[in-house]
Amino acid sequence: MVRVNEEPYDFRPGIKVKDLIAELKPDADVYIVNGFPTTIDTEIFDGDSCWLIRRGETPPAEEMERLLYARHTPGVHEKVRNSIVGIMGLGGLGSVVAIALARVGVGTLLLADYDVVEPSNLNRQQYFIDQIGMKKTEALRENLARVNPYLRIELIDVILTEQTIPHYFQEVDVLAECFDTAEMKAVGLRCALTALPGLAYVGASGVAGYEENNLIRTEMIRDRIYLVGDRETAAQPGQGLMAPRVGVAAHHQANQILRILLNQT
Amino acid sequence: MEIQSGTTIEGLILGMDLNPDTVVVECDGQIVLREEYGNHVLNTGSRVELIRFVGGG
């Protein structure tokens, strides 16, 4: 048996890439066998893994699902695709968390921010030059759709407050606190502990500069409540926020969220 | 930690040179709302946990 685009296909001795193309995907223009680009005259052997791709084509939803979970640990995709994650703040933490969760196939993301993309954001946030001036919510939705167009994404384009956070996020499986200011980080945690009992929550504090990698840690401070960061390094004059270290913290958050969704806590 | 009688949560936080808006407070097992920091007086034997945040994201 061989696999073509992750689907099983009965092997016949002597078949070539062009036979697979004719039978399965006549418009394919990129052919990959066992990880290497090949030509239509390449012979296929039993056990080979083949990809027939149309350059620039968006795979249909079912195929996309299959492609996504082909590289996952078994069982991960089914669980995460039915999950809802809220992200408060779409800056250097939130935009990175969102993209990681989209790539891993989290089914529904609630994205909250009121701000627009500014040039100074591009040193660490997952936006592009041609998105300067766009709402971060809209820009991130656009970028996530280029990763996986079949995600459900809801945009919350407001300034969140201690009063409104519980309203917007009561249905989520995990809430990610990715705010910029220390004040809103405190507001977020207080909401989680008072108004959203039982909620799983992953916040962050202490992500600036270029201090040691391993000072960034993930700590469970209460049942289902986690804080990521070194808890010390504030963004301030002379100590900026930069893609590498904010990214380390954001991926701590994303991995902790995934662990919660997979009950690995 | 020894504190003066009559010290509020707000006073405790300010005395530690922190901004009360950046601190989440649990006192004797209860999370304290921000608007109560100024009038919540600490008693002898109170167990207070402060979770302090720094900016950046």
Q: Is the pLDDT of residue A206 over 80?
A: yes
Q: Which of A88, A92, A90, A101 shows the shortest CA–CA distance to A125?
A: A92
Contacts of B53 in chain A (CB under 8 A): 182-183, 185-186, 189, 205
The answer to whether the Cβ–Cβ distance between B57 and A193 falls below 8 Å is: no
**Where are the domains positioned within chain B?**
9-52
ipTM: 0.96
The model's confidence at residue A136, banded by pLDDT at 50, 70 and 90, is: very high
* Structure-token match 């660490």, residue found: A124
- Percentage of chain A beyond pLDDT 70 is 100
For residue B22, give the chain A residue with the closest CA. Answer: A183
Q: Which of A183, A152, A182, A143 shows the shortest CA–CA distance to A81?
A: A152
Q: Return the CATH number of the domain spanning residue range A2-57.
A: 3.10.20.30
Nearest to A193 among B22, B31, B55 (CB): B31
Q: What integer pLDDT is reported at residue A120 of this predicted model?
A: 95
Q: What integer pLDDT is reported at residue A205 of this predicted model?
A: 98
- At A260, which helix (H) or strand (E)? helix A243-261
For residue A94, give the chain B residue with the closest CA. Answer: B57
Nearest to B56 among A180, A190, A221 (CB): A180
**CATH pick for A76-261 out of 3.40.50.300, 3.20.20.150, 3.40.50.720, 3.40.50.1820:** 3.40.50.720
Which segments of A167-237 are extended strands (E)? 174-177, 200-204, 217-222, 225-229
Other CB atoms within 10 A of residue B39 CB: 9
The answer to whether the Cβ–Cβ distance between B54 and A178 falls below 8 Å is: no
Contacts of B19 in chain A (CB under 8 A): 182-183
Q: What integer pLDDT is reported at residue A219 of this predicted model?
A: 98
Chain B contact residues (CB < 8 Å to A): 19, 21-24, 26, 31, 33-34, 51-57
Annotate A102-133 with b (16+ C-beta within 10 A) or e (fewer): bebbbbbbbbbbeebbeeebeebbbbeeebee
**Where are the domains positioned within chain A?**
2-57, 76-261
Mean of the per-residue pLDDT values of chain A? 95
Q: What integer pLDDT is reported at residue A64 of this predicted model?
A: 82
Q: What integer pLDDT is reported at residue A66 of this predicted model?
A: 79
The answer to whether the Cβ–Cβ distance between A190 and B54 falls below 8 Å is: no
The model's confidence at residue A172, banded by pLDDT at 50, 70 and 90, is: very high
The model's confidence at residue A265, banded by pLDDT at 50, 70 and 90, is: low
> What average pLDDT does range A186-210 have in this prediction?
97
Which segments of chain B are extended strands (E)? 23-27, 30-31, 48-52
Contacts of B24 in chain A (CB under 8 A): 186, 189-190, 193
Contacts of B56 in chain A (CB under 8 A): 92, 180, 206-208, 233-235, 241, 246
> What average pLDDT does range A211-234 have in this prediction?
97
The answer to whether the Cβ–Cβ distance between B21 and A204 falls below 8 Å is: no
Looking at A32-41, A160-169, A178-187, which range is the least confident one? Answer: A32-41
> What average pLDDT does range A119-128 have in this prediction?
97
Q: What integer pLDDT is reported at residue A65 of this predicted model?
A: 81
For residue A121, give the chain B residue with the closest CA. Answer: B57
The answer to whether the Cβ–Cβ distance between A206 and B21 falls below 8 Å is: no
Interface size, chain A vs chain B, as Cβ–Cβ contacts under 8 Å? 75
> What average pLDDT does range A37-64 have in this prediction?
92
Residues of chain B with pLDDT under 50: none
